[in-house]
Amino acid sequence: MELDNRTLLVVVTFSTAVQTAAMFYVWRMQLRERSVGLLTVGFALIAIGTALIAMRPMLPPILTIVTGNSLVIAGQAVCSLAICDFAGRPLSMTFPIWLAAFTAGILTIFTFASPNIGIRVIVLSILIPLSLLPAMLALYSAPPGPTRRTYWPVGIVLTFHCVFAIARSIATAVGGTPADFFASNAITAAWFLESFAAINLVSLGLILMISQRLQLELDRQASYDGLTGALNRRAFERIAEGEWSRAVRHDLPLSVLVLDLDRFKMLNDTHGHDAGDVWLKSFAELCRGLLRREDLLCRYGGEEFIALLPQTPVHAAMQVADRIRRSVEGMRISHNGTDIAVTVSIGVATWNETVTDLKTMIAAADRALYRAKAAGRNRVESSENL
């Protein structure tokens, strides 16, 4: 059974229009995020372009050949722009414009000055991978983790689409193209069917990517303190329990620091809560710079923080704590033209046979912290000295 190429192209147009509506809906739901808006524009351009191509010969060639194909290439380039923006790899906003202008120029030459449908097919088949290359590079560069599991499948679909386009250009160069674009032709029919599948698969993949990022953002907001970027108490307790179990199971050292900025209420009363917020953010950033990647930093409440140090014995934890103390002592934060200094007191506790659970260890570090406060502040004390 032979498939009518015009009918196939109409199906591709309808499918792309549906995906455009879906992207528009997602854009509305995603607080009008720019990358999703660009995807909507890209799919719309492809839908309009394929609709114009399907109307050959009812409309003049300048619309059905030059404008239609240029819009399709521009739409794919805009989708590349959107994917790069979504993946954090900015692409020049002029990329779709220049590519569409180049496409229009080439098609004008081989439609009116030197008509040749074969060359047009070959050129368009080469421009498709060029328009999608930035998107594929952005998708394949996704770091290991959950994003890679959604980014790479979309990249694979786009890669297959580009390989199919190149194969089409080779087949056209070898086998030739019929004078009538919509005449029965296996290569063209296969191209339309593959395009239909690619549009739907890519659209589904992009929606999964958008949904995943929303979920990751919700997880981040549920796990991290909005001001300092440190773990919140609930997330810390959940993750720390796992570290505690691992330390007990494998008999590994585990230490905790309880850190409290000295006279912080006085800072807020004197310089205002904005100054206090600046200090809290700066303090959390300083701690992250001095702790290891596997260490956990939590804003436990107000100006109090907790740091959990896996595989760290008490003497090493004391060194880390004193390094933080000395760094805070030498730090100044400028706010409204005033340099503000703050110190920190730190209590340290380590898992041993007298510590039965994580809460007991934190309570021991908390007692050591109060000992540091009572001894004059800006000190580090260990629970082993209690």
Q: Which residues are catalytic?
A: 303
Instruction: Give φ, ψ of 254 to 5 degrees.
Output: -150, 125
Residues 6+ apart with CB under 8 A from 114: none
Instruction: Give φ, ψ of 237 to 5 degrees.
Output: -60, -35
Amino acid letter for position 207: I
Residues 6+ apart with CB under 8 A from 293: none
Token reading at 54: 């399907």
Query: Taking the C-alpha atoms of 198, 203, 205 and 208 in order, what is their torsion angle to the nearest 10 degrees?
Result: -170
Amino acid letter for position 232: N
